[in-house]
Amino acid sequence: MNWEGKKVLVTGAGGFIGSHLVERLVKLEAQVRAFVRYNSRSDWGFIEDLPEDARNKVEISTGDLKDSGAVWNAVKDREVVFHLGALIAIPYSYMNPGDAVQTNVIGSLNVLSASREFGVEKLVHTSTSEVYGTALYVPIDEKHPLQAQSPYSASKIGADKLAESFHLTYGLPVATIRPFNTYGPRQSARAVIPTIITQALTGGKVKLGAVSPTRDFNYVGDTVAGFIRVAESPESTGEVINVGSGKEISIGDLADKIASLMDRDIEIISDTSRIRPEKSEVNRLLADNTKAKELIQWEPRVSLDEGLRKTIEWISEHINSYKVNIYNV
């Protein structure tokens, strides 16, 4: 696909992955429209952090995914749509499951409906490895059963199935990308890696929930490359594709690795408020990325150590942007 001049929409553009995707698309010379949630401060999230020359090339569209009119205005005249907009915090979904459903299910329905109405060439729908729940076997391929171990996971399963239904029912050219745990610069302290880094930077005590679960961490640049390849590949249409490193590490070992890279001594403290309900905890995630390698010729290029170093450097330079002394849900 030639991205030069391609009319693209990115929902969730102000978020962590979305802002990196927008930046990459601008470099590819696409005409990017960024859909960000409206607020009275005209705060565009991490779009604000883009270099000025890149930011000035982005068309900003504000609204709410739950508002079909706002979504339709954003999708109108776009050729490719990347749908990343979602409420992604699992602890928040425990407290407000209705909000997760409204945003992630109804919001996705609005994007799907508008994409069908306006005849987009390709819609890339964003899933999550959380839909798999605790691994029943590893590595986890795309045929692994879906297990809704949190309201967030359930809402994303619902959205994924809507995307599947729009492809099978209406022939909508949609592909579903299923990223495993993405990390990197700009990520909020809602996620575990920034949580560890920010606490290590500001003191020796690091509060965490369960430390035995394992995760498959993928650097944000590699995840963004996966989004681009899914959009470009005709073979991805109608498919679900895992994007992960194919390696796992426990949260406890991850904390030790980060402390070592930072050359700091830390004390890990178990914080019960951060521990998921027993049957909601996802104990193991490990991606089988064979399909991505074979179907869209994608594979990760950044090692965990290299990616962590880049992330530590960025967070160190932006530590004042984090509220370190609270539990970010």
Q: Which of 152, 183, 219, 322 is catalytic?
A: 152
Q: Is 152 a catalytic residue?
A: yes
* pTM of the full structure: 0.96
Q: How far is CA 31 from CA 57, 58, 62, in A?
A: 8, 7, 17
Residue 69 neighbours by CB under 8 Å, 6+ apart? 63
Residue 152 neighbours by CB under 8 Å, 6+ apart? 87, 88, 89, 90, 92, 93, 100, 104, 130
Rounded mean pLDDT of 301-321? 97
In the chain, what are the domains?
Answer: 7-187+218-247+285-302 (3.40.50.720)
State residue 313's pLDDT score. Answer: 98
State residue 301's pLDDT score. Answer: 98
Length of the chain: 329
pLDDT digits (tens, 9 = 90+) for 190-245: 899 999 999 999 988 999 999 999 999 999 999 999 999 999 999 999 999 999 99
Q: What is 135-192 written as a DSSP string?
A: -SSSSB-TTSPP---SHHHHHHHHHHHHHHHHHHHH---EEEEEE-EEE-TT--TTSH
Rounded mean pLDDT of 41-48? 93
User: Among all chains, which residue has been given the structure tokens 């290299």?
Assistant: 306
How many angstroms separate the CA atoms of 248 and 155, rounded?
25
State residue 214's pLDDT score. Answer: 97
State residue 329's pLDDT score. Answer: 76
**pLDDT at position 328 over 90:** no
Task: Give the pairing of strands 267-270 and 205-208.
Answer: parallel
How many angstroms separate the CA atoms of 253 and 250, rounded?
5
Share of the chain above pLDDT 90, in %: 91
Share of the chain above pLDDT 70, in %: 100
